[in-house]
């Protein structure tokens, strides 16, 4: 496994790779790797000739500086995991490499960035759009792999790829969960044991809502039940619990079994913000 830090280094590597036709897969990460990331890596290795993983905590997608400062840095452990997994190359750029000058570019993803995550994290998706564009330009992958847990982010990146005609394929990898259902996340490391138990309300709420909708219950009634459950759990604060069209991310006010739908949730457990989602009919 080779670690590189600049686009110039990769350009030399890629020139060598181009001597024989090889597909390049990319898994963008912010480090603090867990099994969910390794699932992405595994799919990358299986579906591309060359597996590249990037590790970069992108400051422009954090609208909360404290959240950025608390993001875990486990680079040595991450590199060890990636080497054991069989990754070929790891891109570990500095902030100065990715942002030699402050970026002034502003993406407008329309309604997609003004609901759910976009509404509660203003500027977040612009930061995502900028850094993902930079990574795609730097690495020029044939396939890029993203996790379903960040479902709205995937919709944003899909729009980015289509509108800017990036010549690559996006692959969505299912959410990896702990045995009790909690979606794996680097932020889980910040939960104390009591908060860790309370965090199960996210997944439990999704499962409950899905079952109720499939039984024919009204969505707004289900939504109200979940809202009350969060209000009654000390140390938990619900930001949103919404039903959306899975690909275009339009918010639904009622459930339609014929449409591809997902339920999305975001909540604070203590001072740790967690997100999750569950697809109903794929």
Query: Which amino acids are annotated as binding site for beta-alanine, given as ranges?
Result: 61
Q: Which residues are annotated as a binding site?
A: 30-37, 61, 147-150, 153, 184-187
Q: Which residues are annotated as a binding site for ATP?
A: 30-37, 147-150, 184-187
Query: Encoding tokens for residue 203?
Result: 């997944």
Distance CA 217, CA 213 (A): 5
Q: Between helices 75-85 and 35-47, what is the axis angle to 10°? A: 40
What torsion, rounded to 10 degrees, do the Cα atoms 90, 96, 97, 99 define? 110
Q: Which of 37, 124, 137, 203 is catalytic?
A: 37
Residues 6+ apart with CB under 8 A from 21: none
Q: Which residues are annotated as a binding site for (R)-pantoate?
A: 61, 153
Report which of 179, 176, 173 is spatially closest to residue 196, judged by C-alpha positions.
Answer: 179
Burial of 179 per CB tally in 10 Å (0-12, 13-18, 19+): exposed
Query: Encoding tokens for residue 262?
Result: 């997902």
Known catalytic residue: 37?
Answer: yes
Burial of 253 per CB tally in 10 Å (0-12, 13-18, 19+): exposed
Report helix, strand or coil for 273. Answer: strand
Q: Which residues are the active-site residues? A: 37
């Amino acid at each position: 496994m080779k670690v590189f830090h600049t686009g110039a280094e990769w350009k030399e590597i890629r020139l060598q790779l181009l001597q024989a036709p090889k597909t390049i897969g990319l898994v963008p990460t912010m480090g603090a790797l867990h099994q969910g990331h390794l699932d992405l890596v595994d799919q990358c290795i299986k579906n591309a000739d060359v597996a590249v993983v990037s590790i970069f905590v992108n400051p422009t997608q954090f609208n909360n500086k404290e959240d950025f400062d608390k993001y875990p840095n486990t680079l040595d452990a991450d590199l060890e995991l990636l080497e054991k997994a069989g990754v070929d190359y790891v891109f570990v750029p500095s902030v100065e490499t990715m942002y030699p000058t402050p970026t002034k570019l502003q993406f407008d993803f329309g309604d997609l960035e003004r609901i759910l995550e976009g509404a509660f994290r203003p500027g977040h998706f612009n930061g995502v759009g900028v850094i993902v564009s930079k990574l795609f330009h730097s690495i020029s992958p044939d396939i890029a792999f993203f996790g379903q847990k960040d479902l709205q982010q995937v919709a944003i990146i899909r729009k980015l790829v289509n509108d800017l005609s990036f010549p690559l394929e996006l692959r969505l990898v299912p959410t990896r969960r702990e045995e009790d259902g909690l979606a794996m996340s680097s932020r889980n490391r910040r939960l104390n044991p009591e908060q860790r138990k309370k965090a199960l309300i996210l997944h439990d709420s999704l499962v409950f809502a899905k079952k109720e909708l499939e039984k024919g219950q009204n969505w707004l009634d289900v939504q109200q039940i979940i809202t009350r459950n969060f209000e009654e759990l000390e140390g938990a604060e619900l930001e949103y619990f919404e039903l959306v069209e899975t690909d275009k991310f339009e918010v639904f006010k009622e459930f339609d079994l014929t449409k591809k739908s997902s339920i999305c949730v975001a909540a604070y457990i203590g001072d740790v913000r967690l997100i999750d989602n569950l697809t109903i009919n794929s």
